[in-house]
Amino acid sequence: MSFKNIIGQKDVINYLTNAFSEDKIGHAYIFCGPEGIGKKTVAEEFAALILCENPRNNKKCGQCSSCRLFESGASPDIRRLSVESLSIGVDEVRESLSDLVIKPMYSARKVYIINDAEKLTAQAQNAILKSLEEPPSYATIILITTVYDILLETIRSRAVKVKFKENSYQEVMEAITKKLGPGIDKERAEFAALWSNGSIGRALAMAEGQEFSDLREKTFDAIIKIEKEKLRGIFEISSFFEKNKESCNLILDFMISYYRDILMAAETANENMLINKDKEDIIFTKVFEYTAEQLAAAIAYVIDAKKNIRYNANYMLAIENMLIGIAQI
């Protein structure tokens, strides 16, 4: 891997390699932007570059001890914090930063990468803040997050914000073709690219796995259940959301696409304008069941739920409020 193999994010990569070549590497960065667009990949690559003992033309050498240790995953000069649970507590942060005061072993610098920083509790953020107030000269901490605003102002003011952009449709297609080979089913690749919201990570997951299609089918079943049973259907649908909490963003996007497609079908009567082209039959029959206002209201409920979940509101409460709203439009 190297920066040149990363598709997209050219501005970010230029910015970071310039900082490197001018010897202006920061002590703290916040890499922010939607999921699946390369924040972790760029962070890893940047870390490898600044840890390399013998970089040339802003590229890691790939041969020094540091590069080899990095490659094997055994470098003592980089630490990563990633947790599966929904929050990152103060103990996990302290443990991760515990060797910050110890000088790097192979490199001139030490890098700490904290993934999913939106999960950091306030105390955990305060623990990081202590390290950011007087960081050792060799330390660089990279916080990676999808929600920049959720971090404390005190952290934000001490870190350089590095904003990642959504990938373009072409970049997503390029990534899919590169990863899955030119033999990939073209229709499936296009569908994944269209669905990815500019996220290469999401597009690849979709193009590769059956899981995505299954989840979309189940989401559509759930929507149709609300249409038929209204409030009576909510209990069962809630449990679908409960079981698929990890994929809730995707499910909510499926919901938006459903209502958006009906709106599009009503306005244009053109099946090529649909995201869910394969569901054309269902979508065109629904045109007569909704007014444009109702569709806009349904979309607004889903967007609201997305926002609430993103800002750590009670997940099931946010989902139930949305379902109740939609059942009553």
Q: Which is nearer to Zn ion, 60 or 110 (CB)?
A: 60
Query: What is the total residue count of the chain?
Result: 329
Cα–Cα distance between 58 and 199 in angstroms, integer? Answer: 27
Say if residues 51 and 159 touch (Cβ distance below 8 Å).
Answer: no
* Contact between 61 and Zn ion per CB under 5 A: yes
Least separation in angstroms between residue 58's CB and Zn ion is 12
* Contact between 64 and Zn ion per CB under 5 A: yes
User: Could you tell me which residues come within 8 angstroms of residue 170 by beta carbon, excluding any fewer than 6 positions away?
Assistant: none
Least separation in angstroms between residue 99's CB and Zn ion is 21
Taking CB under 5 A as the criterion, the residue among 52, 124, 322, 327 binding Zn ion is: 52
Q: Which is nearer to Zn ion, 61 or 273 (CB)?
A: 61
Among the residue ranges 9-17, 49-57, 108-116, 233-241, the one whose residues contact Zn ion (CB under 5 A): 49-57
Query: Sign (positive/negative) of CA torsion 91, 38, 70, 56?
Result: negative
Residue 222 burial (CB < 10 Å; 0-12/13-18/19+)? buried
Can you tell me which residue has the tokens 């009576």? Answer: 232
Least separation in angstroms between residue 104's CB and Zn ion is 13
Distances (CA, A) of 139 to 136, 165, 293: 6, 26, 54
* Contact between 67 and Zn ion per CB under 5 A: yes
Q: How many CA atoms lie within 13 A of 192 on its CB side?
A: 29
Q: Which is nearer to Zn ion, 75 or 125 (CB)?
A: 75
Least separation in angstroms between residue 77's CB and Zn ion is 12
Per-residue string for binding with Zn ion, 293-312, x by CB under 5 A?
--------------------
Chain contacts with Zn ion (rule: CB under 5 A) = 52, 60-61, 64, 67
